[in-house]
Structure 1
Amino acid sequence: MAETDHPTPPPHRVIIAGASGTIGRAVVREFVARGAAVTALLRPQGKAGRALPELAGAHGITVALDDAAGLAAAFAKAQPEVVISCIASRSGGPKDADKVDRRANLALLAAAKGVGAQHFILLSAICVQKPLLAFQHAKLAFEAELRGSGMDYTIVRPTAFFKSLSGQLKRVKRGKPFLIFGDGELTRCKPISDDDLARFIADCAADPARRNAILPIGGPGPAISLREQGAMIFELLGKEPRYKSVSPGLFTKAEKLLALGAGWSDWFAEKAEYARIARYYATESMLVLDPATGTYRADLTPEFGSETLRDHYAKALAAL
């Protein structure tokens, strides 16, 4: 997918849910830079808007997403033309996924329709194309509601984020091996930076051609494996690569054991789901899935942006 230089003027009024999150902050910053009137929805228990410099220039409203009256008041005040949801369950557990990925988004959609908003942009995930997990089913359930709502929509399904691929930087810099699953070549992804994804989302709000569409999106450059991510970090540190392999089968065994208690304990049910999530990410690529062959294909995964994972790693390592 080709990049565009602001194809049309941005909408004047935008409301962004999940504004205090990593992606949400970048989206707020991008819309403010484009001259939009931005309302940032903040969780009551979340970070205060004034403590987040990325939210400068936006009007922050603190409201719980399960507070229908509070949401209605916030939307009535903002009168958004475009609603953007960057919310996502933190744990991925069944209850949290249903509460956030489905029900909270439904509440946002109802509030949007209540004020006559024109366009709803949903930040989803590319992994929903092969749904095996509770949070994936919750996301798909809302996607279906959104598509049938009668409102113009854009569903953005990004590949991996830079942040999700940065968890081992500290341990490698301290001299520990880079953890891989199997031989480290089981999966590949085309990660996209926060700022590039925010620009893509802002372009979706401005480009009529991106309405009523489901858009997978990745960052620039070739798809990268877990082993290659590790090699990149070692190269930047000037060290010889050292790897430690973990078998994905360990997650399968853990899931089976924990599932024995899932019928009578929410704790066991959640832990079993976490094991399933770990196995999924250890074995499934974050690329477009070819429905004809059932294989993940980098060539079918659109690219956008200019920031590379290597650049991100270099900056992050220098800051450690």
Structure 2
Amino acid sequence: MSKRVVLFGASGTIGRAVARELRLSGHDFVCALRGSNNIPEDLAGYSVKPGALADVFDREGFDVAISCIASRTGAPEDAWAVDFQANSDILKAAHTSGIRHFVLLSAICVQKPGLAFQHAKLAFEKELIESGLTYSIVRPTAFFKSLSGQIERVRSGKPYLLFGNGELTRCKPISDRDLARFVVGCINDPERRNRILPVGGPGPAITPLQQGKDLFRLTGQKPRYRRVPMALMNVIVGALGLMGLVSERAAAKAEYAKIGRYYATESMLVWDEKAGRYDEAATPEFGTDTLFEHYRKKLG
């Protein structure tokens, strides 16, 4: 069934993928952007409405709102302004305009919150659940983009950076295309309504060490690793935290360091609270794209 959809966050990586999938799926949709300046070239030809995020509902009739917006830095001020407040403003306007279904792109890392952006996302998830609207909260695992930062490093002959032994964490990464298909699929799938939906790509779960091995194999280079002790990261976080008591700049750097430490020590899989561990088997898989194939294409 074709629906009338308004998409927020279309200028971001996942948002653009969702826009493409909405078009392929035959939905009538509008991309709501914060401003008219610097509209991405790959949104050319799409229905785009710049302006205040909540104002897009004026004189428009939509069935579904999809939000892919997220803070760029994860810093507390940015996180609460975007991950919570901007989404909250959209939700209120959507409710007033008669929207029946709200699809939210969240993140699987909110299962064990310890960072500002995680608490901001959880606060909005709670508001959405209590709003009375039909909701679909999508919590994806790691993105291909976030696991591709060392491609050029390895290609140029430098060692692959690992935290600890490289096997502290695991994930089932999901491609932009597969995640977009899952998000758009929430529109007409009754099984994805009024649910929190963790989702990963094809398994099995992989470690950073395995990611490095794939890159070395694809580039034909001898594996070389540089291991960063977690104790060193803890010292950096602690020092920046103390400096942050008297310096806003240091406080911001401390938050970024905490974010880095979180992803270096926590798996992007479903967390089993009762067992106190991440559960690979309980982490749903979706799609066909693999990180290995993504690396191969990036390397040409």
Q: Same fold by TM (over 0.5)?
A: yes
Give the residue type in structure 2 aligned to 1:240: K
Structure-1 residue corresponding to 2:143: 161
Which among 207, 229, 253 is matched to residue 271 of structure 1?
A: 253
User: What pairs up with 1:46-195 in 2 under 5 angstroms?
Assistant: 47-49=38-40, 51-52=41-42, 55-65=43-53, 71-72=54-55, 74-195=56-177
Q: Shift in Å at residue 315 of structure 1? A: 0.5
- Counterpart contact for 1:20–1:47, Cα < 8 Å: no
The CA deviation string for residues 50-106 of structure 1, in whole angstroms up to 9 with x for no partner, is x12xx35531112244xxxxx23x112432211011011111111010001000100
Query: Could you say which residue in structure 1 is the equivalent of 2:221?
Result: 239
Shift of 1:267: 1.5
- CA 1:46–1:97: 2 relative to 1, 3 Å: farther
- How many residues are matched? 300
| SS at 2:186 equivalent | helix
2:132 aligned counterpart, secondary structure: coil
Distance 1:62 1:248 in 2: 44
SS at match of 1:205: coil
Letter in 2 for 1:29: R
In structure 2, relative to structure 1, the CA distance for the partners of 1:46 and 1:258 (3 Å cut) is: farther
In structure 2, distance between residues paired with 1:33 and 1:253: 49
TM-score (norm 2): 0.97
Q: Which runs of 5+ in 2 are unaligned?
A: none
Listed one character per residue, the Cα deviations across residues 135-173 of structure 1 (whole Å, up to 9, x for unaligned) are: 000000000000000111010000000000000001100
Q: Secondary structure at the match of 2:162?
A: strand
Assess if the C-alpha contact under 8 Å between 2:136 and 2:193 holds in 1.
yes
Q: 2:131, 2:298 → 1: CA distance?
A: 42
Match of 1:205 in 2: 187
Question: Aligned residue for 1:4?
Answer: none
Residues 2 and 28 in structure 2, CA contact (< 8 A), matched pair in contact too: no
Q: Look up the equivalent residue of 1:138 and give its one-letter code.
A: A
Contact 1:37 1:58 in 2 (8 A): no
Q: 2-side partners of 1:117 and 1:131: how far apart?
A: 30
Q: Structure 1: which amino acid aligns with 2:6?
A: I
Deviates more, 1:178-187 or 1:245-254: 245-254
Residue 170 of structure 2 contacts residue 208 of structure 2 at CA under 8 Å; is this kept in 1? yes
Deviates more, 1:138-147 or 1:38-47: 38-47
Match of 1:280 in 2: 262
- Cα deviation for residue 46 of structure 1 reads 6.3
Letter in structure 2 aligned against 1:26: A
Q: Which amino acid aligns with 1:33?
A: L
Query: Contact between 1:15 and 1:78, CA under 8 Å: does it hold in 2?
Result: no
User: TM-score, structure 1 length as denominator?
Assistant: 0.91
Task: Tell me the C-alpha RMSD between the 2 structures.
Answer: 1.3
For 1:207 and 1:16, locate their aligned partners in 2 and report how far apart those are by CA, in whole Å: 18
On the 8 A contact 2:8/2:69 being kept in 1, the answer is: yes
Q: Shift of residue 16 of structure 1?
A: 0.8
Which runs of no fewer than 5 residues in structure 1 stay unpaired?
1-8, 66-70
Secondary structure at the residue paired with 1:199? helix
Instruction: Report the 3-state secondary structure (helix = DSSP H, G, I; strand = E; otherwise coil) of the residue aligned with 1:188.
Output: coil
